[in-house]
Structure 1
Amino acid sequence: MNLARASNVRHEFYKAVWFYFKVVWPIFSILLLVIIAFGLIIAHLEGWSPYDGVYFAFVTGLTIGYGELVPKLAVSRVLAILLGFNGVLMTATFAAISVRAIEVTVTAARKGEE
C-alpha cells in the first residue's frame, strides 16, 4: 500500500469515527456528566476539593485507580463502584465506535481495490 493510499484510508477512518461519535454523542455526554456529577458528590461527602472529586471520578471510571484518593464513607464507595460501571460503559462505547469505523473503512478500501 502506498503512502497516499494509507493516508486516504486513515482519513476515511477518522471520518467514520467522527460520524459514529456524533450518533452516540447524547449517550456519551450523559456518561461524562454522570462521572462529573458523581465526582462532585463524592468530593462533597468526603471533604475533598471539587477538582479532586472529578479527578477521582475519571481515574476510577477509566479503571486506572491510582489510589491516592480513597473514599471512606460507605455511600461514597457505592458511588465509586457505580463510577466503575459507568466508565466501562463509556470505554465500551468508544471501542464500539472505533471497531465500527474500522469495519466501514476496510469495506470501503476493499471496494476501492476492485
Structure 2
Amino acid sequence: MRASKHLKHEFIRGFLRGLSVVWPIISLLLVFMALLGLVVGQVEGWPVGDGLYFSFVTGLTIGYGDLVPKHALARFLAIVIGMSGIVMTGLIVAVGVHALRGVLEDEGTR
C-alpha cells in the first residue's frame, strides 16, 4: 500500500514537472482557441459566452451540437479549433505517459 502511494506521488510530481515544461505551448493553444471561438461567435452572431463555450466544447472534441456554425468561415475555424484541441490533448497525454514511464523505470531499478 505504501509503495502505491509513493508511485502515485512520484507520478504526480513528474506530471506537474512535465506540464511546467509544455505550459507555454498549452497556454498559447488555449488563447488561440478562445480567440478563434470569439471570431466564430462574431461571424455567427452569437454572444461572447457562446463563442467561448463553442470553442472549448469543440476543442475538447465533446461537440454537444447545441451550437452549430452555419457560415463557411465559421465551419473552417471550427475545424482549426478541433485540430488545436487534439494537439493540446496530445501534449497533455504525452506528458502523462512520460511521467508514468519515468516512475515505472525508477521502480524497476530498485
Q: Same fold (TM over 0.5)?
A: yes
Match of 2:83 among 85, 96, 102: 85
Q: Structure 1: any 5+ residue segments left out of the alignment?
A: none
Match of 2:106 among 93, 105, 108: 108
Deviations 1:68-87 (A, max 9, x none): 10011111011001011101
Equivalence for 2:41: 43
Q: Deviations over 1:49-107 (max 9, x none)?
A: 11111111111111111101001111101100101110110010011001000000101
* Identical residues among aligned pairs (%): 42
**TM-score w.r.t. structure 2 length?**
0.96
**What is the one-letter code of the residue matched to 1:62?**
L
Distance in 1 between the 2:7 and 2:87 partners?
28
TM-score, reference length from structure 1: 0.93
How large is the Cα RMSD of the aligned pairs?
A: 0.8
Displaced runs of 4+ in structure 1, greater than 3 A? Answer: none
In the alignment, the residues of structure 1 paired with residue 70 and residue 95 of structure 2 have an alpha-carbon distance, to the nearest angstrom, of 36
- Structure 1: distance between partners of 2:46 and 2:61: 20
Q: 2:61 aligns with which of 37, 51, 63?
A: 63
Size of the aligned set, in residue pairs, is: 110
